[in-house]
A and B are shown apart, each in its own frame.
Chain A
Amino acid sequence: MFNVQSPQLNTPIHENKVLNKSELSYLFSGKLLLRKEIPLTEEQFQELISSSCFTPIPSIKKKLFQPQCQRCGNVKHSLFATIPCQSCKTTHLYCRKCIEMGRIIECEPLYFWNGPNVNWPIHESPCSWSGQLTDDQQRAADRISTAIVTNEKEMLVWAVCGAGKTEMLFPGITEALRLGKRICLATPRADVVRELQPRLEQAFSEVSIQALYGGSEEKKATAQFIIATTHQLLRFKQAFDVMIIDEIDAFPYHADPSLPFSANRAIKKDGTNIYLTATPRQKHRIQIARKKLPHIFVPIRFHGRPLPVPIFKMCSSLKKDLKKSLPPKAFFKWYKQRERPERQLLFFVPTITLAEKMKAELTIRLLNEGLIKKESEIVFVHASDQDRTEKVNQFRQKKMSILITTTILERGVTFPSVDVVIVDAGNRIFDEAALVQIAGRAGRSPNDPTGDVLFFHDGKTEAMVQAVKSIIAMNKRGGFR
């Protein structure tokens, strides 16, 4: 919550240049900004206020004495505070929740563009991707296109890990662009934004596309097609005709009420929401069961092979081993005689501290037993690791054999040929969705469509049992026995 990095629009680039209304509308329509995020001179700004192009909106509203921040939707008491304002000589509320994006304080309104709308270009045939969708992908793609063309309010795409959901979106995006719609593809993680940007730019080369995330070079958000982290939606209001939310079940989207709040505000009133997930949360499953939420199910991976089913390995001395930061004996036994030793290994642990210590211990053991040759063959990575992207890329290029990680790599990353293990799979941190996602890292490539998935534990949890049940159920729906 406190680490939101934010692009800001505060460089006064337009100080000496008077922009016409059309240029202004590209810059400001669909946004909800503080004065300091509007890079115009006071004179220009006042003119736009008096011509009602900018409408001021109170930044904090009180409903039945409960304040709500109008940018992030925060209503939590401990995340509001007061300032004795030296400008107004009174005390105001301010929002502590979204303060990293510039402080929201009662005496400074947010501004919403009310001037001319942008007419986004109509693209006759914008998609230059020449790949082929599988029958299952095509079925989902058609369903998504229909939702977009007929302005359906929302639908959910439930596609197993490795179903190839990005490509499934291409026909729908194409239809949207043919109709001159503005599109946002939002995802919880900046890594994923960075990965999607080149793929989408290649597939839709004639369309203006911008990527927004904390620390991104692009900050203005003036493109027809925006790829963004869900945090970046905090600056939009009624901006998009199509809002695609990737990994809708993932942290922090499902845990932080600010993100659904701002996503709801960022879409136009008659816009279409497309939700993507491999592991829907209870809330969505109930809505689906009650037929309150239209959905399409894609049970088969794009290469047509079933999902690997995790195998439980009970290790009664796990607690003792973990105290010494050692993997259980059963791990070594498996590692020495696994079927495809040329596969790389993705190694999940519950905490950063354990990841670091286990890296050290595991390195010593495997070097001693001659199972690895150099220390550099094992690497660990965690959420606030500055070299995270670099390490993940090196692993993908097969520059090392084992990557020890926390849940940060549970989703959104694809490696061609890996086995997957979780040590202490019974830990609370691994909920059902996390376990299904982690298992879904194996067998992603058509050249190696399977992989071992092992859960080392000292007592089965409900999450583990449910994860395996749901993987088996998905395989069944995909026609596998």
Chain B
Amino acid sequence: MHCLWCDQVIIPEMSWSNIFFLDKPKNLCDVCESKLEKLTGKRCKRCSRLSDTAECNDCMWWDKHLKGQDSLNSNYSVFAYNSYMQEIIAKWKYRGDYQLGDSFQQLFRNVFLQHFTSLPKEAVAIPIPLSVERMKDRKFNQARVLADFLPLKSIEIITRTDSEKQSKKTRQERLSTKNPFSITETVNKPVILVDDIYTTGTTLRHAATLLKENGCPLVYAYTLIRG
């Protein structure tokens, strides 16, 4: 096995505990894995941002703006967006190095199992979709890759109708644009929206609103990175 980031050969370590069952092959070498920054310590219970208070400024802003009617129950993220992560994400998403996504497989699944302990069995995962244009270029949706790592049924029932070129817009500008998603099927079970990054939370809230308008009882978000 070679490290997906630096291509060094990874030699699995032998110990008494794994002498009969070797650990699952690792996708990143120890050096590369150690540069990923897992979120730890006090954070906002609603959006996973590092925060000394239970609810961060961002989320208080949302409360005021939405008058307490937030469509998104909460977001939970695994990693911080450090410069190393930015490099990996750029290569994975923008350069289209599909396999690099496997670097996150184990942690993304394990943290999910630790965090969403009281989730009803019927809950489903829904990845945030790419626009048709983007998909034609990239050939895979990174959010779906992440959703497929989870021990949940994953369904693709929302589609993207805009051209997705909004990364440079401010939150205000993003909010004032109309909902970029449409729905192809309704769902009446709790939903985990899956995406690679929670930045302002606008995109996820657009999707959550649409789901709730169409009869979905509860919407959480689970994201790889808190931007």
- What is A's interface to B at a CB cutoff of 8 Å? 1-2, 36, 78-79, 81-87, 94, 96, 99-100, 102-103, 105
Contact between A86 and B7, CB atoms less than 8 A apart: no
Complex-state Cα separation, A87 to B136, whole angstroms: 6
Instruction: Flag the segment in B38-46, B51-59, B95-103, B183-191 that touches A.
Output: B95-103
Contact between A83 and B7, CB atoms less than 8 A apart: no
Complex-state Cα separation, A171 to B137, whole angstroms: 47
Q: Is the interface of B mostly helix, strand, loop or mixed?
A: loop
Contact between A79 and B7, CB atoms less than 8 A apart: yes
**Residues on the A chain within 8 Å of B2, using CB:** 78
What residue of chain A has the Cβ atom nearest to residue B97's Cβ? A99
Contact between A103 and B7, CB atoms less than 8 A apart: no
Residue B60 interfacial (CB < 8 Å):
no
Chain B stretch 96-141: residues in CB contact (< 8 A) with chain A: 96-99, 135-137, 139-141
Complex-state Cα separation, A96 to B98, whole angstroms: 9
Contact between A78 and B91, CB atoms less than 8 A apart: no
Contact between B135 and A86, CB atoms less than 8 A apart: yes
Contact between A81 and B140, CB atoms less than 8 A apart: no
**Residues on the B chain within 8 Å of A85, using CB:** 139-140
Known: A82-B99, A96-B99, A102-B95. 11 other contacts (CB 8 A): A2-B91, A78-B2, A79-B7, A81-B99, A83-B96, A83-B139, A84-B140, A86-B140, A87-B136, A87-B139, A103-B96
**Residues on the A chain within 8 Å of B91, using CB:** 2, 99-100
Contact between A99 and B99, CB atoms less than 8 A apart: no
Complex-state Cα separation, A87 to B140, whole angstroms: 9
Complex-state Cα separation, A134 to B119, whole angstroms: 83
Complex-state Cα separation, A86 to B130, whole angstroms: 11
Contact between A83 and B98, CB atoms less than 8 A apart: yes
Q: A78-B2, A78-B7, A86-B140 are in contact. Are A99 and B96 (CB under 8 A)?
A: yes
**Residues on the B chain within 8 Å of A83, using CB:** 96, 98-99, 139-140
Complex-state Cα separation, A342 to B27, whole angstroms: 54
Contact between B95 and A94, CB atoms less than 8 A apart: no
- What is B's interface to A at a CB cutoff of 8 Å? 2, 5-7, 91, 95-99, 135-137, 139-141
Question: Which 3 residue pairs are nearest across A and B when measured between Cβ atoms?
Answer: A81-B99, A78-B2, A83-B98
**Residues on the A chain within 8 Å of B141, using CB:** 86
Complex-state Cα separation, A81 to B135, whole angstroms: 19
**Residues on the A chain within 8 Å of B137, using CB:** 36
**Can you spell out 5 A-B residue pairs with CB atoms less than 8 angstroms apart?**
A81-B97, A86-B141, A94-B96, A99-B91, A99-B96
Complex-state Cα separation, A78 to B97, whole angstroms: 13
Contact between A94 and B98, CB atoms less than 8 A apart: yes
Complex-state Cα separation, A1 to B3, whole angstroms: 14
Complex-state Cα separation, A366 to B2, whole angstroms: 45
Complex-state Cα separation, A87 to B97, whole angstroms: 16
B85 shortest CB reach to chain A, Å: 15
A103: which of B5, B6, B97, B135 is its contact (CB, 8 Å)? B97
A82 shortest CB reach to chain B, Å: 8
**Residues on the B chain within 8 Å of A86, using CB:** 135, 139-141
B145 shortest CB reach to chain A, Å: 10
A103 shortest CB reach to chain B, Å: 4
**Residues on the A chain within 8 Å of B99, using CB:** 81-83, 96
What residue of chain A has the Cβ atom nearest to residue B90's Cβ? A100
Complex-state Cα separation, A397 to B163, whole angstroms: 52
Contact between B98 and A81, CB atoms less than 8 A apart: yes
Complex-state Cα separation, A102 to B135, whole angstroms: 15
Contact between A96 and B97, CB atoms less than 8 A apart: yes
Complex-state Cα separation, A1 to B139, whole angstroms: 24
**Residues on the A chain within 8 Å of B139, using CB:** 83, 85-87, 105
Q: Which of B95, B98, B140 has the most CB of A within 10 A?
A: B98
What residue of chain A has the Cβ atom nearest to residue B96's Cβ? A103
What residue of chain A has the Cβ atom nearest to residue B145's Cβ? A84
A99: which of B5, B95, B135, B140 is its contact (CB, 8 Å)? B95
Complex-state Cα separation, A304 to B98, whole angstroms: 57
Complex-state Cα separation, A357 to B136, whole angstroms: 50
Complex-state Cα separation, A425 to B139, whole angstroms: 50
What residue of chain B has the Cβ atom nearest to residue A105's Cβ? B139
**Residues on the B chain within 8 Å of A81, using CB:** 97-99
A1: which of B7, B98, B136, B140 is its contact (CB, 8 Å)? B7
What residue of chain B has the Cβ atom nearest to residue A85's Cβ? B139
**Residues on the A chain within 8 Å of B96, using CB:** 83, 94, 99, 103, 105
**Residues on the A chain within 8 Å of B136, using CB:** 87
Complex-state Cα separation, A82 to B139, whole angstroms: 11
B14 shortest CB reach to chain A, Å: 22
**Residues on the A chain within 8 Å of B140, using CB:** 83-86
Complex-state Cα separation, A34 to B137, whole angstroms: 12
Contact between B95 and A100, CB atoms less than 8 A apart: yes
A97 shortest CB reach to chain B, Å: 9
B95: which of A1, A36, A79, A103 is its contact (CB, 8 Å)? A103
**Residues on the B chain within 8 Å of A102, using CB:** 95
A39 shortest CB reach to chain B, Å: 15
What residue of chain A has the Cβ atom nearest to residue B3's Cβ? A78
Complex-state Cα separation, A102 to B91, whole angstroms: 10
B12 shortest CB reach to chain A, Å: 15
B8 shortest CB reach to chain A, Å: 10
Complex-state Cα separation, A99 to B93, whole angstroms: 12
B127 shortest CB reach to chain A, Å: 12
Complex-state Cα separation, A36 to B99, whole angstroms: 22
A345 shortest CB reach to chain B, Å: 34
A85 shortest CB reach to chain B, Å: 5
Q: Which of A36, A82, A103 has the most CB of B within 10 A?
A: A103
Complex-state Cα separation, A317 to B99, whole angstroms: 48
Complex-state Cα separation, A79 to B3, whole angstroms: 10
Complex-state Cα separation, A308 to B96, whole angstroms: 51
**Residues on the B chain within 8 Å of A82, using CB:** 98-99
B158 shortest CB reach to chain A, Å: 16
Complex-state Cα separation, A241 to B95, whole angstroms: 33
A87: which of B5, B6, B7, B135 is its contact (CB, 8 Å)? B135
A101 shortest CB reach to chain B, Å: 9
Complex-state Cα separation, A103 to B138, whole angstroms: 9
Complex-state Cα separation, A298 to B135, whole angstroms: 57
**Residues on the B chain within 8 Å of A100, using CB:** 91, 95
Complex-state Cα separation, A84 to B145, whole angstroms: 10
